A and B are shown apart, each in its own frame.
Chain A
Amino acid sequence: MATILVVDDRPLNRSLLTTLLGYSGHRLVEASNGTEAIEKALTEHPDLTITDILMPEMDGYQLVRKLREVEGSHKSKFIFYSATYLESEALALARACGVSHVICKPAEPELILKTVEEVLASGPSTGQPEESSPGSETEYYSEAIRILNDKLYRKVEEAEELNKTLEKRVADRTWELEISNHNLKKEILERQKAEADAVQSREERLKVKGEFLSHISHELRSPLSVIYQFTTILLDGLGGPLNKDQREYLEISLRNVNQLKLMIDDLLEASRAETSKLTIRRSAVSTTEVAAQVEQSLSTVAKEKGILLKIDPIGELPPVYADPGRVSQVLTNLLDNAIKFSPPNTSVTVRMEVFADDPNFVLFSVTDCGCGIAPEHAEHVFDRLYQVEGAMHASRRGLGLGLYICKELIGLHGGAIWVNSKNKGIAGTTFHFTLPIFTIQSLIAPIAVKDGRLASSLILLTVEVRPTTHWQTEHDHEQMLNKTYQILERCMLPDLDVLLPVQSLPNADFYSVIARTDQHGSEVVLSRLRDQLSGNPELQAAGVHCSVASELLDLGDLGNVLPLDECVARVATDLKERIRMKTTKGAEHDDGKEIIAHRG
């Protein structure tokens, strides 16, 4: 029977082994740690030591080595009793310290007994070296390092594995995020499309409405025309003599026909404004000239009501950059209203001055002596279809479009329109509007900056006109026409950016402009500013170089019989036609004379 030392830090493990081996009749000694085991070994001299590997303070390997040192001649045999997960490592390390038997926990009792018997029977229990020679300390450490290396490798592998798992999870999550991102984007796009569709359908509705309004306003014209014609036929006595009352009734009828005609015009204009089809053709416009024309056209209406129209320009007024027809339309509308709402025998004033708040604009003020507009209405008078409730002249109410159209037109010019009114006061109402003053910059800007980019150069063509005062012959006309053709042919070449007709025209027709054909979408610029333009420091600073085309055309001794702009506009249309015919038929009409005949 042998003495067996059982070393384990856990009492349960020790009692398992002592109980089991006790049955086999062995004497059993227990130790709960390395130090205690060494003490017991020195006193009890066990034949066999069964030791755990993982223990606090001193592990199984250290214990074996220590025991080998201290035991001297008495050599105990060893069995490692170790946890399964350490199996391969334990075997290798056990061999490195000369122990060949390792039992893995949990082990079958039979295996334990069998191993114990095997080891005990394997050789003399005293003084004989172990069946496997114990390795040197170096061997043990190199083995330990190898194992630790292996362990490290495994950990690295595990880390890599974990890394891969993590990467996969990140990839999975990223994919999920991408999908939801994609869905979000899709949703955003869908919403944008829905919004665009809404805008489009609104535009389509407006278009359909515009077409509808355009259609009815034209359809209304024919019957209106018949009413107008028969009314004038009767008024002109073509249906027989009229008595005083009959004449008066027909005049009322005629006035209302005219009113209806204006309403139809407004209807069409308003629908154009809504579909952004209102157009303006701007040039330099003399404010006093336009005001004078409007005054002229409204003088009869004003006189009938005993209203004095006063045009009041303050100081030297520069030209405005505007569509003369549209300026006249706005002024007519405001003056017409002013006359309508003024009591008889009062006055209506059109004041024009450089706008004190912004000297880049001319301020127009139309003042009447009417009943005024209440403040709560004042802010709405420019709204479409807005009408002042219970207005005195309810029977003469329009469609509520006139001021709306005015606002749109002034807005297109970059100006503003507003109203000042003293509620029910004597002072009446003042409508103000502003129009930009004509400047070289306002003209050059759209040319110099095209498609958002600054042009690197501008080419100018100036046209010199030298007037004469002597009697014009047919020959002079012909000559002028030919010259004008030459100029226009030159103007139609696409290399020009700016065309500068020259101001030295008679009849103070200072701002007459040669109508450069539309086909290149270029602007026509006034003349006296040529020098300013070519030496314009702002343009130069911006890197735009203006050069004056070398082939200055000379109109020579041309007359002042025709206003140049009218002539040229005519010729321009005509020239286009000639060129078209030249290219299509190769035929050419001598229609020059016809033009002169028509213009007179």
Chain B
Amino acid sequence: MTGKKLLLIEDDKDTVRAMAVRLKSEGYNLVVASDAISAISTARKEKPDLIILDLGLPGGDGFTVMQRLRSNYDLMMVPIIVVSAKDPKYNEPLAIQAGAHAFFQKPFETTELLNSILDALNPSVINRQER
């Protein structure tokens, strides 16, 4: 997975820092957007391989961001993983329906998130490895 570019859309600086350390150690390149407006422009500019999205954002909620990403021709195929403190009972089905690859509630297991990123970036390889 080395060299894959991930876009982290997250407003909490400490979370960004922790994710940056973790994801860089796994060999990913990380770009960050900290609000809903810059999220779209950064995504357009950077064309990431995968997006990690927080739902509670300044400037618009995560679902709106997801909708806009999905309606952009260049970005519609980019897998999105939602990471949020919100109740999965309501938000997970909503996120999946909106086209998210997976939903993780904070605090999440690091290995589960990393596996999910691998899975989203290259499903067929992972499936063959796992099964």
Residues in chain A within 8 A of chain B (CB atoms): 214, 218-219, 221-230, 232-233, 236, 238-239, 257, 261, 268, 573, 577, 597-598, 600
Contacts and interface: CB of A to CB of B under 8 A. Distances in A.
A233 B86 contact: no
B3 interface: no
Nearest to A238: B25
3 closest Cβ pairs, A-B complex: A225-B106, A229-B18, A225-B107
A218 B85 contact: yes
B110 A232 contact: yes
Contact of A229 (B22, B105, B123, B131): B22
Contacts of B15: 222, 225-226, 229
B25 A221 contact: no
B110 A598 contact: no
Contacts of B97: 573, 577
A261 B106 CA distance: 9
A268 B105 CA distance: 14
Contact of A598 (B18, B107, B123): B123
Contacts of A232: 22, 110
Nearest to A600: B127
Given A232-B110, A233-B21, A233-B22, A222 B85 contact: yes
A225 B21 CA distance: 14
A230 B18 contact: yes
B126 to A, nearest CB: 8
Contacts of A218: 85-87
B19 interface: yes
Interface in B5-55: 12, 14-15, 18-19, 21-22, 25
Could you tell me the dominant secondary structure of chain A's interface residues? helix
A597 B123 contact: yes
A342 B97 CA distance: 45
Contact of A597 (B25, B86, B87, B127): B127
Nearest to B129: A600
B85 A221 contact: yes
A59 B93 CA distance: 112
Contacts of B93: 573
Contacts of A233: 18, 21-22, 25
B25 A229 contact: no
B6 to A, nearest CB: 15
Contact of B14 (A226, A257, A573, A597): A226
Nearest to B10: A222
A339 to B, nearest CB: 21
Could you tell me the dominant secondary structure of chain B's interface residues? helix
Given A600-B127, A600-B130, A600-B131, A221 B105 contact: yes
27 contacts: A214-B87, A218-B85, A221-B85, A221-B105, A221-B106, A221-B107, A222-B12, A224-B106, A225-B106, A225-B107, A226-B14, A226-B15, A228-B107, A229-B15, A229-B18, A229-B22, A233-B22, A236-B25, A239-B21, A257-B107, A573-B93, A573-B96, A577-B97, A597-B123, A598-B123, A600-B127, A600-B131
Contacts of A224: 106-107
Interface of B: 12, 14-15, 18-19, 21-22, 25, 85-87, 93, 96-97, 105-108, 110, 123-124, 127, 130-131
Contacts of A226: 12, 14-15, 18
Contacts of A236: 25
A261 B107 contact: yes
B111 to A, nearest CB: 9
Contacts of B22: 229, 232-233, 238
Contacts of B12: 222, 226
Contacts of A214: 87
A265 to B, nearest CB: 10
Nearest to A235: B110
Contacts of B19: 229
Contacts of A222: 12, 15, 85, 106
A226 B105 CA distance: 13
A268 B86 CA distance: 12
B109 to A, nearest CB: 9
A327 B37 CA distance: 44
Nearest to A230: B18
Contacts of A229: 15, 18-19, 22, 107, 110
Contact of A225 (B86, B87, B108): B108
Contacts of A225: 15, 85, 106-108
Given A218-B86, A219-B85, A225-B15, A238 B131 contact: no
A222 B54 CA distance: 11
A600 B131 CA distance: 7
Given A221-B107, A229-B110, A233-B18, 14 more contacts: A214-B87, A218-B86, A221-B85, A222-B106, A224-B107, A226-B12, A229-B15, A232-B22, A232-B110, A233-B25, A238-B22, A238-B25, A239-B21, A257-B107
**Most chain-A CB neighbours within 10 Å: which of B86, B97, B107?**
B107
Contacts of B107: 221, 224-225, 227-229, 257, 261
A338 B25 CA distance: 39
A224 B107 CA distance: 7
A455 B7 CA distance: 56
A221 B54 CA distance: 13
A238 B127 contact: no
Contact of A238 (B21, B106, B130): B21
Contacts of B18: 226, 229-230, 233
A23 to B, nearest CB: 122
A403 B87 CA distance: 22
**Most chain-B CB neighbours within 10 Å: which of A218, A222, A227, A573?**
A222
Contacts of A219: 85
Nearest to B22: A233
Contacts of B110: 229, 232
A306 B84 CA distance: 36
A238 B93 CA distance: 34
B75 to A, nearest CB: 17
